[in-house]
Structures are given as C-alpha cells and as structure tokens.
Amino acid sequence: MKFSAKRLNSGIVAAGLLLTVGHPQKASAQPAQVGPVTQVQGAGNVLHLIGDLEKNLAFYRDTLGLTMNRGPRGPADNPTAYIKLLPIIGPMYLASDNAMYRSAEMALATKEVHLEQEDFKDVGTKNIRRKLTDPGATLMTLTVRDLDAQVAKLVAAHADIVTPGGKPMNVKTASGMQRQIVVKDPDGYFLLLAQASDADKASAPGGGSPNVTDMKMTLTVEDLNYTLHFYRDQLGFQPGAPTNFGSGGLDVAGLKGAQYRTTESVIPGTQMHLDFVEFKGVQQKMYHPTIHDVGATLFRLGVPDVNVLTQNLRNAGIPVVSTTGQPTGMFIMAQAPDDTFIQFYKTR
C-alpha cells in the first residue's frame, strides 16, 4: 500500500526531528510488503494533544465528572506543573531534550481504555481546529446515566455546545430513539453525550467513570474505501459493510442535510468501537498536523511484536514518525490515513 501526497504530510519536517520511513518517493527502494503489516490485538488509550491541562481537567473532571485514572506527574506542591520529558516521550512526539510537558489520564467506560491528555511546552506546536466533517476529526461518544445533569453542568460552565439550541435532541438510532447532545472540549475535540437506557443505568460501573456506561470513537475520513483498506487489510480490523450515502441523524451535530456514509468496526481484541464516516458535498480541509500539535488525532493499538511491525511498516511504505525510526521502549509511532497517528505498543 502506498500513501498518496494528498493524504500524507510526509514532506513536512518539524524542527529537523521528523523521520519518515517509507516516504512515497523512496518506496521503490523498499521491498514490497506481502500481506498485513500486523494483527492488532488490543487498544490502549485515546490520546488528545492539548494546549492547557488545567482547562481540560476543569472540563473533563469537574464538569463531565470523569474519574481521574492517573493524575499529573508534577511535584506534590504543584502537580500540574510542566516537567522534563520522560526519556520515552521525546523520540515519539518529535520533541527536543529541553522541551517540557504535563499529562493526565481520565477514566472512561472500561479499565483498558482511558483518555490521555498530553500538554507540551517549547516544541513549536500549532493549533488544529477541525470541523466534524474534516478528515481526522474524531467524535467521542459517551453514554451517560444522567444526561440532563451533565447538560446542566455544561451550561453552567459555559461549554461550547454544538447542538443547535443548546439542548439534547431525540435521535433515531439502531436501538430506538435516544437523547443526545454534541459539545466541544477546550481544544476543539468533539464529544457526543447520549442518555443511557434504563437497563444501562441499572448496570454496575465497568471500572471507568461511574456516570459513563459506554464509549466509542468515530473517525471522519477522506475516502472510506481507502481507509478501510488500511485498517482491514493492513491491521486486521473486520469492519462491517459501508452504508450508502444518505442524510439524516446529524442534526444533533449541526449538520442537517449533510450527505455521509459510515461503517462500524470493533478494534480487534476489544469491545471498543472505532467507526468511520465519510462526507460528500461539503468543504473539507486537511491540516497535516505533526504529532505534538494541539488537536492532533492519536490512537494507541496493541500488537504482538513492534520490531517485526517496524520492518513491515517500512516495506509497506507506511510512514514511521520518530526521531530514531526505531521502537522506543516497545512503542512505535506511525502515520495513518486521514491526518491521524497510531502509537503501536507491544501487548503482554
């Protein structure tokens, strides 16, 4: 599989620290990859590259009520202070030795997948503010036990509510009508909050935040067939058949009448949905972020062997984003279609 210049930012160099392995112009020098590059076996965190950790904690912890899974790593008297990069961070995020960062993890619906927030300083970040229709945009759906209580807190906090009128809408879903609302977090990431069913409300917490009963991710793509080839044929996903283009159901996101098609997919080895949506007839922008830019899209996926994966990525012409081009602490960062990044890690 080759990545077209239309879909990749392989020519952009961030402060001399971007090494693109399998650059399309050099693909002829690499042996062809036969078969998939790996079989994904699990999912780690969903990562948000953010601009202000305090604002994000206020939004996710204080307003949405998500449980802190891992607090910031700063000193005891100032835990949200910027600290020196851990040795594993710089090579993966294209950050120099003198850069600083801070991070935290918020629990979602399971013990396995958390929302990890990375806030970098002194790395030359730019802000990516996508529309939901732009390739690389994500929509995190959180099914909550008490939607009205959540909306009241969002309104009180002057959150950026996307849904027209600022109130939940009744939306037709595969399981019936459901009340939903779409909001943006402080860095422009989209969230859909959905009211849990009576049965879900009665269920015991699954190890994540008590008010969240389920979560899924939806990724906006430029070309659904192209993206499915990558996730299905290269990574071992088993997505469902794409729907036909149609409209309806997106009024809640302020996209009344938008034409789109979707497919559902579960990350192998998990029950977590990573669905895909393609729009047509709308203006779209490719932002080509670097991995540390605020608003960049990053998923963490587990694989059996990152060393074999690294060679397979090279052979397939799939860019590896790293200052070394090699695994760092059994992690490797790759660039996927649709202006997204994947951080592969070795499963135990």
Can you tell me whether residue 77 is helix, strand or coil? coil
- Tokens read off for 347: 């499963």
Residue 202: pLDDT band (50, 70, 90) is low
Stretch 103-126: mean pLDDT, rounded? 91
Q: Nearest CA to 118 among 183, 62, 46?
A: 46
Residue 35 pLDDT greater than 60, yes or no: yes
Q: Nearest CA to 201 among 148, 140, 152?
A: 148
Assess contact for 342 and 234: CB atoms under 8 A: no
pLDDT of residue 205: 66
pLDDT of residue 261: 98
Predicted confidence (pLDDT) per residue in 306-332, tens digit:
999 999 999 999 999 987 888 888 899
> C-alpha 223: how far from its chain's center?
18
Query: For residues 30 and 23, what is the distance between their CA atoms, to the nearest angstrom?
Result: 10
Residue 29 pLDDT greater than 70, yes or no: no
pLDDT of residue 49: 96
Q: CA torsion, points 132, 294, 194, 214, in degrees to nearest 10?
A: 120
Residue 51 pLDDT greater than 60, yes or no: yes
Residue 14 pLDDT greater than 70, yes or no: no
Predicted confidence (pLDDT) per residue in 66-107, tens digit:
999 999 999 999 999 999 988 888 888 888 878 999 999 999
Residue 262: pLDDT band (50, 70, 90) is very high
Full set of structural domains in the chain with CATH: 50-121 (no CATH), 138-280 (3.10.180.10)
Query: For residues 331 and 328, what is the distance between their CA atoms, to the nearest angstrom?
Result: 5
Radius of gyration over every alpha carbon of the chain, rounded to an integer in angstroms: 20
Encoded amino acid at 79, one letter:
P
Query: For residues 316 and 12, what is the distance between their CA atoms, to the nearest angstrom?
Result: 20
Tell me the pLDDT of the chain averaged across its residues. Answer: 88
pLDDT of residue 95: 84
pLDDT of residue 122: 86
Give percent of the chain with pLDDT exceeding 70.
90
Neighbour tally for 324: CB within 10 Å: 12
Stretch 251-260: mean pLDDT, rounded? 96
> C-alpha 173: how far from its chain's center?
23
Assess contact for 93 and 123: CB atoms under 8 A: yes
Mean pLDDT check: name the lowest of 59-68, 162-171, 203-212. Answer: 203-212
